[in-house]
Amino acid sequence: MKLLGLFNYWVFAVLLMIGLYALISKQNLVKKIMALAIFQSAVFLFFITMSRVDEGTAPIIQAGVANQIFSNPLPQVLILTAIVVGISTTALGLAIVVRLHEEYGTVEDNEILAMDRES
Amino acid sequence: MTMLLIGVFLLSLLVITAIAIVRSEDLFSAVMLSGIFSLLMALNFFLLDAADVALTEAAVGAGVATVLLLAGLRLIPPKEAPGRPLRALSVTVIAATALLMIYASFGQPTLGDPLAPTQQHIAPWYIEKTPELIDIPNIVTAVLSSFRGYDTLGEVFVVLTAGIGVMFLLGGGRGKPFSRLDSQAEQGLSGHLIPKVMARLLIPFILLFALFIQFHGEYSPGGGFQAGAIFVAGIILYSLVRGEGLALSVIPPRALLLMSAGGALLFGSVGVAGMLMGGNFLEYSVLAENPVIGQHIGIIVIELGVGLTVTGVLLSIFHAFAARD
């Protein structure tokens, strides 16, 4: 029971490392961006895991219900805005990849580096 | 207990999906899998009592992000080059770090522990003071737009900045960020009957739901960020089915620019209005005679600003990708 309560953290660790692994070992720049998104999602999961309180509900006050237990609203606020910022920065990264492809004709980082060294 | 097991099941699916994303050589299927990943993540957030976050993740991650990645994928090779083999060094480092973090997790409070340090700090104050100081039911909205308004203002400007960056990278000539947008007038999927009929049925309800989320965000899960993303999803669906040209005549490029910048400006000017009326920057209590009414006015206006900016920026980004050839 105690161990199951830690499962979220293990998934956080595994997802974070899957993202990091793909980020450093994949050559394709689009894959790198998606890896960054996985890495980011892992952090989101970590925050939201910490916001949960047993027997709690989503932090919305219901009229006429006394002594409600609420989950922690603060991590939820931070992650809510971070998700929208995340998609904007992903789009920015993707735009850079598209421009790189127009200039170099490839989106593999080793080929781009090789071209840079030749010139 | 059942909820915990459902959570474990969903989280395991999440890990499997993440591995599949990393392993698939076809970028198209990787993008589709990342849509599934976001949907699973949204379900997990919902199980963890974060209704607002789940709504955002479902609208942004599973909806808008997938479409944006697909629009970008149209412009680059769809296949990954056959990669180098697994490198022993990186695998070792990654595995060691993962094990270290799992080892560290044994020092963490278990899921849902009400005595965890996170629950002791400032959160009880927010929960206790929201009915008294702000008097709206949704505590997340109260914290987002009033208690931590500075944060949100910053985030809105980050979104705007990212939008400007995409415009500069993909928008074409100097001073004309949208110059390439009107050039294409494809008919989209209008030749296909089933998507067309389905879209025609869905789009009005999606847009209506977005407005509901926007203006009911103080009482139920929702707010400007979610509403903006859902609104964008509706318009993107329209432009996929009826073509870019028609979508741009519904919301012209100039209006998109005005929405992006105007929303952020609206947010900032509410802050300045608070200063002019004798309070601090982003202090809403001074906006009306009654401090609670002032808070309500401030929150509604800044949520509108957030919604406008998110809609404008995400739609501009989509159009910028879609119009590129």
Q: Are residues B7 and B47 in the same domain?
A: yes
Q: Is residue A14 part of a domain?
A: no
- pLDDT grade for B154, boundaries at 50, 70 and 90: very high
Q: Are residues B150 and B105 in the same domain?
A: no
Q: Are residues B131 and B50 in the same domain?
A: no
Q: Is residue A7 part of a domain?
A: no
B78 vs B227: which has the higher pLDDT: B227
Q: Are residues B177 and B244 in the same domain?
A: yes
Q: Do B310 and A84 touch (CB under 8 A)?
A: yes
Q: Does residue B174 register a pLDDT over 70?
A: no
d(CA B17, CA B25): 14
For A107, which of B64, B76, B159 is closest by C-beta distance?
Answer: B76
Q: Is residue A61 part of a domain?
A: no
In this structure, how many other beta carbons lie within 10 angstroms of the beta carbon of residue B102? 16
Q: Do B101 and A13 touch (CB under 8 A)?
A: yes
Residue B267: per-residue pLDDT: 93
Q: Are residues B174 and B266 in the same domain?
A: yes
Chain A residues with beta carbon closer than 8 angstroms to that of B8: 4, 7
- pLDDT grade for B213, boundaries at 50, 70 and 90: very high
Nearest CA-CA distance, residue B308 and chain A, Å? 13
Residue B262: per-residue pLDDT: 94
Q: Are residues B154 and B96 in the same domain?
A: no
Mean of pLDDT over chain B: 87
Q: Does residue B194 register a pLDDT over 60?
A: yes
DSSP H helices, chain B, are 2-23, 27-47, 51-56, 66-73, 88-105, 117-120, 123-129, 139-142, 149-170, 193-215, 224-242, 244-250, 253-276, 291-323
Q: What digits encode the pLDDT tens for the residues B215-231?
A: 988 888 888 899 999 99
Chain A residues with beta carbon closer than 8 angstroms to that of B72: 30, 94-95, 97-98
Mutate to test the interface with A, among B23, B93, B140, B157 (most CBs of A within 10 A): B140
What is the mean predicted confidence (pLDDT) over B71-92? 83
Q: What digits encode the pLDDT tens for the residues B26-64?
A: 999 999 999 999 999 999 999 999 999 999 999 998 889
Rg (CA), chain A: 20
Nearest CA-CA distance, residue B281 and chain A, Å? 20
d(CA B100, CA A52): 24
Q: Is residue A36 part of a domain?
A: yes
Which residue type, as a one-letter code, is found at position B287? L
What is the mean predicted confidence (pLDDT) over B147-161? 92
Residue B66: per-residue pLDDT: 92
How many interface pairs between A and B have CB atoms less than 8 angstroms apart? 290
- Total count of domains within chain A: 1
Q: Do B57 and A83 touch (CB under 8 A)?
A: yes
For chain A, which residues score pLDDT lower than 50?
none
Q: Does residue B94 register a pLDDT over 80?
A: yes
Nearest CA-CA distance, residue B210 and chain A, Å? 16
Q: Are residues B150 and B289 in the same domain?
A: yes
Mutate to test the interface with A, among B76, B92, B180, B226 (most CBs of A within 10 A): B76
Q: Do B108 and A52 touch (CB under 8 A)?
A: no
Q: Are residues B53 and B108 in the same domain?
A: no
Cβ contact B263:B156 at 8 Å:
yes
- pLDDT grade for B279, boundaries at 50, 70 and 90: confident
Q: Do B80 and A48 touch (CB under 8 A)?
A: no
Q: Is residue A12 part of a domain?
A: no
| Owning domain of residue A76 | 28-53+70-119
d(CA A68, CA B297): 27
Residue of chain B nearest A81, judged by CA positions? B155
Q: Are residues B27 and B3 in the same domain?
A: yes
Q: Are residues B15 and B67 in the same domain?
A: yes
Our measurement of the distance from residue A81's CA atom to the centroid of its chain's CA atoms, rounded to an integer in Å, reads 12
Structure tokens at B244: 């870019």
What is the mean predicted confidence (pLDDT) over B167-176? 66
Secondary structure of A68-107 in the HEC alphabet? CCECCHHHHHHHHHHHHHHHHHHHHHHHHHHHHHHHHCCC
Q: Does residue B182 register a pLDDT over 80?
A: no
Q: Is residue A95 part of a domain?
A: yes
Nearest CA-CA distance, residue A19 and chain B, Å? 8
Q: Does residue B172 register a pLDDT over 60?
A: no
Last residue of a domain, one of B47, B78, B109: B78
Beta bridge partners of A60: B138
Secondary structure of B208-263 in the HEC alphabet? HHHHHHHHCCCCCCCCHHHHHHHHHHHHHHHHHHHCHHHHHHHCCHHHHHHHHHHH
| Owning domain of residue B193 | 122-325
- Total count of domains within chain B: 3
